[in-house]
Amino acid sequence: MTLPAAKAEAPALATLHAQAFPPEEAWGPDAMVLMLDMPGAFGLWRPDAGLVLARVVLDEAEILTLAVVPAARRQGLGATLLAAALAEAARRGATAMLLEVAKANQPARALYAAQGFTQVGLRRRYYANGDDALLLRRTIGPINAS
C-alpha cells in the first residue's frame, strides 16, 4: 500500500531520499517542498521504505524521483510505487509518462523496462557526474490505470 505524501512529510521524504541516493543527488526537505509545490505535482510513499514524486502537465506525466531504501529493495516496492504513480497520473488525465534514468543505473532500467517503458531519447552528460541520461516513455492506457 502507498500513502499520499504531502509537504508536511518533506523531512521524512528527504530522510528516505538520502538513504536511497548518494549524497550529491539527495534532495533535502526544501527541495521536496519545492517539488511538491510545482503545478500538477504529487507524491506517494511508504513510510520508512520508499517514495515516488511525479507531476502531470496536460496529458503527460513525469516521474521526478523514485527511491526505495536499500533494506527494502527487491521486494516489489519500486514496482508498486511506480504502478501507483501511473494510476494516479491516469486518474489526473495523463495518457503517457516520461522519466529520465542514468544509463548506468541497471536496477532502475530493469524496473522501468519491466513496466513497459522504452527509450525515446538520450541526454548526453545530463548528470553532474557526467553520466548520460536515457529518456524513457510509456503510454498509460485504461488497462493500466487501476
Contact residues for ligand COA (CB under 6 A)?
Answer: 20-21, 66-68, 73-79, 101, 105-108, 110-111, 114
CB 85 within 8 A of CB 52: yes
By beta-carbon proximity to ligand COA, the closer residue of 53 and 140 is 53
| Unique residue bearing C-alpha cell 532500467 | 109
Beta strands 41-46 and 50-57: pairing type?
Answer: antiparallel
By beta-carbon proximity to ligand COA, the closer residue of 108 and 142 is 108
Nearest approach, Cβ of residue 73 and ligand COA (Å)? 3
Distance between CA atoms of 60 and 24, rounded to whole angstroms?
28
By beta-carbon proximity to ligand COA, the closer residue of 20 and 85 is 20
Nearest approach, Cβ of residue 107 and ligand COA (Å)? 3
By beta-carbon proximity to ligand COA, the closer residue of 23 and 142 is 23
Nearest approach, Cβ of residue 48 and ligand COA (Å)? 13
Nearest approach, Cβ of residue 50 and ligand COA (Å)? 6
Secondary structure (DSSP) of 58-93: TTEEEEEEEEE-GGGTTSSHHHHHHHHHHHHHHHTT
Taking each helix axis as running N to C, give the angle between helix 106-114 and helix 77-91, from 0 to 180 degrees, rounded to the nearest 10: 50
